[in-house]
Structure 1
């Protein structure tokens, strides 16, 4: 259930990507200068026009995709380009989950990574994807692949990828940022506020992230001060049917909208050290995101780390010691619901009583005892003002 991501700074050949057709029965050139195959252009398929981006270097690699730093050939702006393989149903399911989550948002939020566009590449052809486009044969084939659990879009010999073009975060992830700097109470307070704001926004828009962890929180420093960006929505869930506004986007002003915290999920997924007890059992709501945030904030405040078994990297995360072993907090609470967490963990911690109480509430065994995202944001704001 743990998904790791190996980081790399290796440069790649400066190559154009997302070349395609504007119209006509002609050839398209994709990445690495390879020619694609001829495909008839139809009014129902929107093609991407000409070379769009050039890859600069690889900055991340996972089990089913690669992330590059890239430059826009038109504006010269730097972007992040995630290339996801669509050669297996499980990969398509993860890619579509991210696509649906990011395209369901009708407005931007400073602390949620921004998707600029998504393009499907198949047989050298590139088609811009749009959410719920029932006229697009390629889009419907992707959905069918995910639903049926079998390859529908292409044969193993035909390359098929989804390219996500997103804002570039030059500060890396939260792990790297926090652990490469001296402790800073002001930065910690700002990050707590930004994280709670991002999760409140997602929950207001009926999105449960389900994989909140430091690896999936990126840092932008373009404004001069660090700005957090919640990213990687491959395991996210858009709770369909909950929105009261058009396009699936709920508003904070609408008091009659259904509660995302009452939408039950059953897929036990995420990363072990950040999973709530009820996620291990496979019966949980959006309150699982609050638990994950509690683990992250606790670890960030006290710089508690462990060595990830897969990546061998030092990770921010709290845990429970059982003899010589370290056990995820959620798993330990599942085994012993009456266990009292030692908050703070460090003997010489400067954690305030108010923050200690907040973390205890966020990490409550019973999800109903945890604050929801709106209440969490209010309590963090009050805590910072009082501090």
Structure 2
């Protein structure tokens, strides 16, 4: 990634960069485009196959207008209003649920390649594995698998669905199993709509407000604690993936985009991506899931450069990497530390280390020099309290075992923000 005033930061050796999602400016906000609708069942439609009949398929249509095609058997469930985001493997629309009139976000992911299927399934598994809702985590309303104009509502771990099993097989085998170029297969995620943009846009378009900072700090730590309690490691926490809802009158943060997330199941998992971490600390004798998730070693070096912990650059890390990313976000938010992303030309919140004319992500700099002392706060006249300063130092510790876990962080964050 080229960053900051056209300066190029040196390339990282090894294969780390190829494993990560493309740079932080992947999502591009664009004007409304003409939207292509999915097929609606009509009298000329081909007969269902035996496999489709067995899987409780139904017709579905996402249309912009009220008018249906000739012979339509069912009204569209959602009307697409406009495109609000586009990435390398999907498109996000603002839409209206026709039955209730509620605004929703609809993300369409084309499952045309194994890597796209893997990202789509990771998001699906994370969003459907949560035991309950949390106000600071984006809510999935439903997920629909669409193929040949028919759609099937997806459910987590549905082993009776051949379509679902084929998607899993595509991801595992690394080859196309489901769908062809002329018959594309899509996953549609219907989620709550966030009308306040992302954290970058919200913070940088307003004057500094300590009260808002404190509220956002508590909301973010509460969200991460909830995810870790549900055995979910996000792995791509950054301001782009934190959305703002203003429906209640005051801003509510929503952690979103779970395409790189990892659901850590039982401790006896033999998956190479989920190995229990020998020697992981069990703090305070607490035996709940918040401790267990920190005993998993993950090996895929993924995320976005400026928010990645030192151990992620090495490709050997635990859920504590989320704590590090959160520390970078909070530090940047309080002091409004930004950089310019060369791809999107957007100003983004993110903390870094200056090395001559270059700027280097904090995690990479700590990997190269583990004894480096972070100067928190950066500004001499900062209003950062001593409690917040000490907490950030702990969150950004080079050794993940020295960082608080998500439950400890939530408790400490409440203490330091109430005392401020």
Q: TM-score scaled by structure 1?
A: 0.90
Alignment pair present for 1:255 and 2:287: yes
Per-residue deviation, 1:37? 5.1
Contact 1:192 / 1:297 at 8 angstroms: preserved in 2?
yes
Distance in 2 of aligned mates of 1:100 and 1:326: 36
Distance in 2 of aligned mates of 1:261 and 1:6: 31
Alignment pair present for 1:206 and 2:261: no
Distance in 1 of aligned mates of 2:30 and 2:372: 42
Per-residue deviation, 1:346? 1.8
The 3-state SS of whatever aligns with 2:297 is coil
1:121–1:305: structure 2 CA closer, same or farther, 3 Å change rule?
same
1:158 match: 183
Aligned residue runs from structure 1 range 356-371, under 5 A: 356-371=389-404
Q: 2:346 aligns with which of 293, 305, 313?
A: 313
Structure 1 gaps, min length 5 = 28-34, 244-253
2:356 match: 323
2:316 match: 283
Per-residue deviation, 1:76? 1.1
Structure having greater relative contact order (Cα 8 Å, sep ≥ 6): 2
Q: 2:118 aligns with which of 90, 93, 96?
A: 93
Distance in 1 of aligned mates of 2:119 and 2:21: 14
Contact 2:131 / 2:230 at 8 angstroms: preserved in 1?
no
Aligned residue runs from structure 1 range 1-387, under 5 A: 1-3=20-22, 4-13=25-34, 38-40=47-49, 41-47=52-58, 50=74, 51-242=76-267, 255=287, 257=289, 259-387=292-420
Moved more, 184-193 or 346-355: 346-355
Per-residue deviation, 1:106? 2.0
Contact 1:20 / 1:47 at 8 angstroms: preserved in 2?
no
Give the alignment's Cα RMSD to 1 decimal.
Answer: 2.0
Moved more, 162-171 or 347-356: 347-356
1:249 match: none
1:372–1:310: structure 2 CA closer, same or farther, 3 Å change rule?
same
Distance in 2 of aligned mates of 1:158 and 1:310: 32
Contact 2:147 / 2:184 at 8 angstroms: preserved in 1?
yes
Distance in 2 of aligned mates of 1:155 and 1:190: 48
What does the per-residue CA deviation read over 1:99-118, in whole Å, with 9 as the maximum and x for residues that have no partner? 00000012100000000000
Contact 2:225 / 2:406 at 8 angstroms: preserved in 1?
yes
Moved more, 104-113 or 39-48: 39-48
What does the per-residue CA deviation read over 1:58-97, in whole Å, with 9 as the maximum and x for residues that have no partner? 1111000000000111111100000001000000000000
1:37–1:273: structure 2 CA closer, same or farther, 3 Å change rule?
farther
Q: TM-score scaled by structure 2?
A: 0.83
Contact 1:15 / 1:54 at 8 angstroms: preserved in 2?
no
Distance in 2 of aligned mates of 1:329 and 1:199: 21
Structure 2 gaps, min length 5 = 1-19, 61-73, 269-285
Moved more, 291-300 or 258-267: 258-267
**Number of aligned pairs?**
366
Distance in 1 of aligned mates of 2:46 and 2:179: 14
Contact 1:48 / 1:128 at 8 angstroms: preserved in 2?
no
